[in-house]
Structure 1
Amino acid sequence: MKTDARQCLVETKDRVMMITINRPPMNTLSRSTLYEIEEILAEAETDPEVGAVLLSGTGEKIFSAGADISEFGIVGDREQANKMLLRMHELFNRIENYPKPVIACLNGKALGGGNELQMACHLAIASETAELGLPEVKLGIIPGYGGTQRLPRLIGRRRALELMLSGERISAQTALEYGLVNRVVPPESLRQEAFKWAAALAAGAPLAIKGILDSTIRGGELDMDEGLAIERENSLAVAGSEDAIEGVTAFFSKRKPKFEYSHGKGTPLP
């Protein structure tokens, strides 16, 4: 299935949905672009034909250069700016807490809000030519879409402060060394490798994947005991499911498990 949305291209194949930001030349993130991404994700959440999501940008040079500066006039209106920031935080939190793997496919520069968007994704694969940065300080503002919170959690406070206070960019290789991305590949093979990775994840047990994501993301912000309580909650939900029965049966039968009947349902057995 392939459809052209207003500012995003959407293509689904082998249970992988590719969302491509289509606002050349810089793939800037207007509010309407982000709302469109939110709508697409909302529909895909319950779609059994979608097991993983790839998020990329058109072209070979820019994933996203960040927020649409033409909308910055709202900064002078404190009330409206606060409403907008709350809305953006809700959207980025929704991506982070999505029950299916969301992989950022960084085809080029990920700057400002573009970098904050990829940080909200669960995983990231980058082209060797990609660059990442939070240059907001150079505009006299701060990262406002979660960057000041997610970046230190991903790479550590001192490295994060160095990047945010200077506004400088780092290469894909440095981002890999910092733990800001998972994989770096040649630009010509980026989308192929990203799709292969996403397809492998999409073939997994949906309930288990949902439980791992929830336990890690939600539990990761709590103390150990509270985090373990969330892990137990998810373990119990998964343990009696069709997925678990199929997985164990396949193991003892020495064959690959087939989870297709529970994709999109995730209903534990009574």
Structure 2
Amino acid sequence: MTTYTDIQYAVTEGVATITINRPEKYNAFRGKTCDELIDALHRAGWDKSIGAIVLTGAGEKAFCTGGDQSAHDGGYDGRGVIGLPVEELQGLIREVPKPVIAKVNGFAIGGGNVLVTCCDLAIASEQAVFGQVGPKVGSVDPGFGTAFLARVVGEKKAREIWFLCRRYTAQQALDMGMVNAVVPHGELDAEVARWCAEIMQMSPTAIAIAKRSFNADSDSIRGIGGLGMQALSLYYGTAESHEGVAAFLEKRKPNFRSKI
């Protein structure tokens, strides 16, 4: 059996739960985290005994806060350029023939917010917080995090989310269609379990065909994202991007325009 360090993997009554286990980093991912998530998704996605996959974060504070800036060397360590592990992870969430449910227990910021966007369904605690930070720290998600987000919440709202980098409550996320349901924090596990139990009663083949059909309409975004990720890997080598990371780590406001 695979041994993981950055995630936890458990199966209960046909539901695989994949938990990002870096609470000390607010469940921010590094390259190793992405590689382990990819392995776990493959493991659950093609196991015929699994009917649903739940993705969540360890602890009470965060679902996932995106890329670990302390590991930021132009690609969150691991396999180098950002496009490889992150692009593969996002695509795999959509590719596995099982519903992937985001159980959002806290902050879903940056790349964490993108993971919620990529998941088929999302159920949030009342204490969950959503938002993007890329332009604040010299980064961006040029694929599913932007183009697909626009399909989910609409063009104007998606541009607001990225251009202003504001924070949104769970109720606001529900109102704009980013999540399917919001429940009191103490009821989150039970609510997700209820949704999974309903899914487990459905035809797995019909569910898989439905998921493929939904994806067919938006899979061109994967190609757009691939191009964008290559551009992003070049952008991460610029002084402008480095200024965003330095400012974040030094807890100061960035001065991007001095680096153009």
| TM tier, smaller | 0.7 to 0.9
Gaps of 5+ in 2: 221-260
Secondary structure, counterpart of 2:66 in structure 1: coil
If you compute each CA radius of gyration, which structure gives the higher value, 1 or 2? Answer: 1
Q: Does structure 1 residue 137 correspond to structure 2 residue 117? A: no
How do 1:1-270 and structure 2 match up within 5 A? 5-25=4-24, 26-74=26-74, 80-81=80-81, 84-144=82-142, 146-220=144-218
Deviations 1:193-251 (A, max 9, x none): 111111211221111000110111113558xxxxxxxxxxxxxxxxxxxxxxxxxxxxx
CA–CA distance in structure 1, aligned partners of residues 65 and 149 of structure 2: 17
Q: Which whole-Å CA distance do the structure 2 matches of 1:30 and 1:73 have between them?
A: 10
Check the 8 A contact 1:3/1:9 in 2, yes or no.
no
Aligned pairs, number: 218
Specify the code of the residue in structure 2 equivalent to 1:156: G
Q: Deviations over 1:21-51 (max 9, x none)?
A: 1001211111111110110111112212211
SS at structure 2 position matched to 1:18: strand
| CA distance in structure 2 between the aligned counterparts of 1:193 and 1:93, rounded to whole angstroms | 26
CA distance in 2, matches of 1:215, 1:6: 35
Which amino acid in 1 is paired with 2:199? L
CA positional deviation for 1:175 = 0.4
Contact between 1:54 and 1:195, CA under 8 Å: does it hold in 2? no
* 3-state secondary structure, aligned to 2:108: strand
1:237 equivalent in structure 2: none
Q: 1:179 to 1:89 in 2, by over 3 A?
A: same
- Using the alignment, how far apart are the partners of 2:60 and 2:2 within structure 1? 21
Whole-Å Cα distance in 2 between the matches of residues 221 and 99 of structure 1? 15
Q: 3-state DSSP class of the match of 1:184? A: strand
When the two chains are superposed, the root-mean-square deviation of aligned CA atoms in Å is 2.3
Q: Is the 8 A contact 1:51 1:201 kept in 2?
A: yes
Q: Deviations over 1:151-185 (max 9, x none)?
A: 11110110011111011111100000000000000
Name the SS for the 2:171 alignment partner.
helix
Question: 2:112 and 2:19 mapped to 1: Cα distance?
Answer: 13
- Contact 2:31–2:85 at 8 Å: present in 1 too? no
Cα distance in 2, alignment partners of residues 85 and 131 from structure 1: 26
The one-letter amino acid paired with 2:34 is L
- 4+ runs deviating over 6 angstroms: none
Q: How far apart, in 2, do the equivalents of 1:111 and 1:101 lie?
A: 22
Instruction: Give the TM-score, by structure 1 length.
Output: 0.75
Report which stretch shifted further, 54-63 or 141-150. 141-150
Aligned partner of residue 74 in structure 1, secondary structure:
coil
What CA distance in whole angstroms lies between the structure 2 residues aligned with 1:28 and 1:145? 19
**Aligned residues of 2:38 and 2:88 also touching (Cα < 8 A):** no
Q: Percent identity?
A: 37
Q: Aligned to 2:73, what secondary structure does the other structure show?
A: helix
Displacement of 1:190 in angstroms is 0.3
Identify the residue that residue 249 of structure 1 maps to in structure 2. Answer: none
* Cα offset, 1:86, TM superposition: 4.1
Please report the TM-score for the alignment, with normalisation by the length of structure 2: 0.78
What is the distance in 2 between the residues matched to 1:184 and 1:3? 33
